[in-house]
Amino acid sequence: MVHYRVHRDADWTVNPDTGKLVPDPKFMVLESDFLAMRVCGPEEARNWQRKYSIQCECVKKIRINRLMKSSEITDEFKLLGFQNFKTKGKAVIVADMKECAMDYYKEFEKIRSKRANSMALLGQPGSGKTHLMMAISNNLIVKKGVSVHYFPYVEGFNDLKEDFEQIAPKLERMKNADVLFIDDLFKPVGRGVNRKPRATEWQIEQMYAVINYRYLNHLPILVSSELDVDQMDEVDEALGSRIYEMCQDFTVVIEGDRKILNYRLVGLNDV
């Protein structure tokens, strides 16, 4: 930490990234200079009684690297942000989805301790849900020092089944991270009338334990899913209703022509 003294006449403003008050640098001096009387004499020392500390950049980088490593976000996903999410030529709902994600990030510090402190992007696969949730996650880690735990639903449960010794510590990390990102929750198998959510009794039980803990302790979640709220309620109403209550202020359902909304199918009509 770098320690400073701040003059009593200093102006203080709110840092938009942290939500904390910071002094005008023009009214800050190093603590070491103040104590060595290089700033003022004893008669003016009372004007410099307020202390302020800033974490040095090396410490910040170490913390960010540690948070990113523990997040289980892949190297490819670490590159996803708001700036490289393109909306030009896309459906209006895609632009709305991005705007909602950016609004959530801006409001995060204000709402993080409330019941409705979470976000859900639901519906059409390939529309950019994971990208935007990753943009939120990466920004929370890098700019706000918030711990995020990434849990891809299908791969995550496959890993748990292969190593039962990791179930308890994994669930604890999911319960206690500052933010939990659940990607592709209940990802369906099949198509049309044969399309069914991927949700065994054991998976529902584990997800309920995690979500209910976070629900009771006002810990935010980020959820992407191809299911809408009603479909999640049909899988498990207690679980789905909790997710809805937590995400109610920041939920977007993406519906429409899959050939337009699914970026993986761009150009299909020209083939």
Residue 59 within any structural domain of the chain: no
pLDDT band at 271 (very low <50, low <70, confident <90, very high): very low
Q: Residues 6 or more apart from 108 whose CB is under 8 A from it?
A: 140, 144, 146, 220
Our count of domains for the chain comes to 2
My answer on whether 43 and 79 are in the same domain is no
Residues 49, 95: one domain? Answer: no
Residue 176 parent element (H or E)? helix 167-176
Q: Is residue 193 part of a domain?
A: yes
Report the pLDDT averaged over residues 133-141: 94
The residues pairing with 150 across neighbouring beta strands, listed in sequence order, are 181
Q: Does some domain include residue 60?
A: no
Nearest CA-CA partner of 52 in 24, 78, 74? 24
CA 122, 132, 183, 237 torsion: positive or negative?
A: negative
Same domain, 80 and 155: yes
pLDDT at 229: 92
Nearest C-alpha neighbor of 121 from the set 184, 41, 169: 184
Distance CA 49, CA 6 (A): 7
Contact 198, 205 (CB under 8 A): no
Strand locations in 95-198, DSSP E? 119-123, 148-152, 179-183
Give the pLDDT score at 94.
Answer: 92
Mean pLDDT is lowest, of 118-122, 142-146, 263-267, for: 263-267
CB 148 within 8 A of CB 67: yes
Q: How many residues are given for the chain?
A: 271
Q: What is the mean pLDDT of the chain?
A: 87
pLDDT at 59: 55
Domain co-membership, 155 together with 39? no
Q: How is residue 26 annotated by DSSP? A: G
The yes-or-no verdict on residue 264 having pLDDT over 70 is no
Residue with tokens 């104590």: 35
pTM: 0.74
Claim to verify: residue 96 and residue 221 sit in the same structural domain? yes
Q: Look up the domain containing 256 and give its range.
A: 65-270
d(CA 192, CA 178) in angstroms, rounded, equals 37
Residue closest to 204 by CA, chosen among 185, 223, 177: 185
Determine the pLDDT at residue 270.
41
Tell me whether residue 171 is in a domain: yes
Co-location of 22 and 69 in the same domain? no
209/187 same-domain check:
yes
For the cut 80, the answer to whether the pLDDT of residue 162 exceeds it is no
- Ranking 19-33, 68-82, 133-147, 183-197 by mean pLDDT, the lowest is 68-82
Average pLDDT over residues 196-210: 94
Residue 22 falls inside a structural domain: yes
**And the tokens for 155?**
């791969």
Q: Which of 81, 74, 187 minimizes the C-alpha distance to 125?
A: 187
Burial of 134 (0-12, 13-18, 19+ CB in 10 A): buried
Residue 101 lies in a domain: yes
69 shares its domain with 48? no
Shared domain for 153 and 264, answered yes or no, is yes
Residue 8 lies in a domain: yes
CA 254 to chain centroid, in Å, comes to 20
Nearest to 4 by CA among 24, 17, 64: 24
What CATH number corresponds to the domain at position 229?
3.40.50.300
Query: pLDDT for 226-259, tens place per residue?
Result: 999 999 999 999 999 999 999 999 999 998 777 7
Q: Return the closest-CA partner of residue 56 out of 107, 113, 130, 4.
A: 4
175 found inside a domain: yes
Let me know if 268 is exposed, middle or buried by CB neighbors in 10 A (0-12, 13-18, 19+): exposed
172-198 mean pLDDT:
89
Question: Same domain for 106 and 213?
Answer: yes
Give the tens place of pLDDT for each residue, 24-65: 989 999 888 888 888 888 889 999 989 988 766 555 566 666
Report how far residue 116's alpha carbon sits from residue 6's, in angstroms, rounded to the nearest whole number: 37
Same domain? For 101 and 26 the reply is no
Looking at the structure, tell me whether residues 7 and 129 fall in a common domain.
no
Res 217 pLDDT > 70: yes
